[in-house]
Amino acid sequence: MRLQQTLANQVSCSGIGLHSGQPVSMTLRPAPPDTGVVFVNRNGHAGASLVASVDHLVPTELCTAISGNGFQVKTIEHVLAALAGLNVDNVYVELDAGEAPVMDGSSAPFVRLIQSAGIVSQNSLQPYLKMTRPLEVVDGSRRIRIEPSATPRITYSIQYDHPLIQTQTYTYEHSARAFESEIAAARTFGFLQEVEALWARGLGRGGNLENTVVLSRDGILNESGLRFTNEFVRHKVLDLIGDFSLLGLPFIGHLIADRSGHALHTRLVKQILNHPECWVLLNTDHSTAQAEPLPAIATPRPVSAVALQAS
């Protein structure tokens, strides 16, 4: 049991989009209880807003994107992971472009940004979705499953035919401290031949050795080396944390992923919402909440999360 949390102050950063290669500025602002994570379009528009929800998910390659209310925002998984990893529930994410900044390819810069703003509790309990029965999504040899558990956990396995990866498995027990020390700094990665193919198709234009671990045939091109010997699987955990925040509220369960990815992550989120017989809600009494008027740009939590709280 805990109270909802938001930022103590507004904070901003600038960078480039991983796929567009275009400059982008991002501002995180405090939001009232029960707002969730709301992306706000500041690219010449009158503050159109979009809740980070699987209801707004759109198909994309190699990243997570949402669309609605007249705009789309891509590559949101790393900033979502930082917010979820630090238990920040309510925040406005303002962008002046259609893609979040990639920064160094991990969530660490966003963690530092959030910590510089400060995190404060709000006068409202944070609901949790607690799994009571397992659910699974399978696509050939790739799969992801969630099982009942006393605490939020993730076990992720990957397998690549590369001497620096081979088979890697990592188990993460969620806490803000564990996210910061074990997961946040793990960077996105790609294989040199795949990166070159992406460039040829007009994708990954912002990718470079400052924000991506690039693997050659038998090593990596980054002179700085790896941040963890198993940085690759840790980054997959990071992506899963970000993607799963599209559920709209924290979960209590054990996620088990084997060679999964963004598409399977979000398919499981949809499965959970489609099977309310497999979970219960905790901390849904909001009697202590103080009513606060929402700013003009505010959008309520996604329909799926509102429905959960009413069930």
Give me the active site residues, please.
262
What is the C-alpha separation between 67 and 115, in angstroms, rounded? 28
- Answer whether 37's CB lies under 8 Å from 84's CB: no
State the Cα–Cα distance between residues 205 and 121, nearest whole angstrom.
39
Cβ count near 229 (within 10 Å): 10
- CA dist., res. 184 & res. 250, Å (int): 18
Cα of first residue to Cα of last residue in the chain, in angstroms, is 19
Say which residues have a Cβ less than 8 Å from residue 165's Cβ, sequence separation at least 6.
158, 159, 215, 232
| 285-291: long-range pairs with CB below 8 Å, 24+ | 285/125, 286/33, 286/34, 286/124, 286/125, 288/123, 288/124, 288/125, 289/33, 289/34, 289/123, 289/124, 290/123, 290/124
Q: Do β-strands 119-125 and 142-147 pair in parallel, antiparallel, or remain unpaired? A: unpaired
